[in-house]
Amino acid sequence: MNVNFDIKNVMAFAFTVIFLNNIFFSGIFGGSSLLIISGGNTKKRYIGGFCLSITWIMTVSTMLTYYTDKILAVTGIADYLRIPVYAAVLGGIYILTLVILSGIMSARFDNIKKYIHTAAFNSAVFGCMLTAANTGNITNGIEVSLLTYLLYGILSGIGFSLAVVIHAAVSKLFHAEHMPASFRGYPASLIFLGFMGMAFYAI
């Protein structure tokens, strides 16, 4: 996965991570969070805030994965320690995010607080950390640069945000009166996301 940082390679890497290997459409990571955030009556500005939060959390967590993997490689029992360590790292990032937001957006903090835990604790973030670790595989002796990890985190966040925005744009239609009662809401959303996944697969 190591990216040679000239503009062509970065563009190709971005296209691959956002479209070809989109964290939601190809790996279905973070499905529940996506449905919670973009499927209900969440206001548009909160969806934007959620996308920014999840991109920030993915970027920081993936970057920290680089360092934790290096430390874990020394221990020799990385396979056993990795998941608890990643969970602790995620917990730390969650608290850090809350502290930063309470400082810069104190007036709206109570409203946005509930979206932050959805952005921090979901399989999209955890899957991103694990995919980066598995692909980078520092623990197996293959060196991958910190910048590659960083780029992977940012692009995965953008890819997931793209899926959230696509679903949020049409999710109101799935709750319409003319929709058959059995398909209304959740089942219709799944079928739509399935067809979107097929479109992404066709790229």
Interacting residues toward other proteins by CB under 8 A: 25-33, 35-36, 80, 83-84, 86-88, 90-91, 94-95, 98, 117, 121-123, 125-127, 130-131, 134, 180-183, 186-191, 193-198, 200-201
Choose among 19, 168, 45, 152: nearest CA to 108: 45
For residue 148 the two structure tokens come to 């590659």
Q: How far is the CB of 155 from other proteins (least distance, A)?
A: 18
Asked if residue 13 lies in contact with residue 5, where contact means CB atoms within 8 angstroms, the answer is no
Q: How far is the CB of 150 from other proteins (least distance, A)?
A: 20
Q: How far is the CB of 117 from other proteins (least distance, A)?
A: 6
H-state helical runs in the chain:
7-15, 31-39, 44-75, 78-104, 109-120, 123-136, 146-170, 186-202
Angle at 69 between CA 139 and CA 66, to 5 degrees: 120
Q: How far is the CB of 24 from other proteins (least distance, A)?
A: 9
Nearer to other proteins, 63 or 132 (CB): 132
Nearer to other proteins, 123 or 145 (CB): 123
Q: Which residues contact 90 (CB under 8 A, 6 or more apart)?
A: 57, 61, 120, 121, 125, 126, 129
Asked if residue 54 lies in contact with residue 119, where contact means CB atoms within 8 angstroms, the answer is yes
Q: How far is the CB of 99 from other proteins (least distance, A)?
A: 10
Nearer to other proteins, 128 or 158 (CB): 128
Nearer to other proteins, 10 or 185 (CB): 185
Nearer to other proteins, 29 or 50 (CB): 29
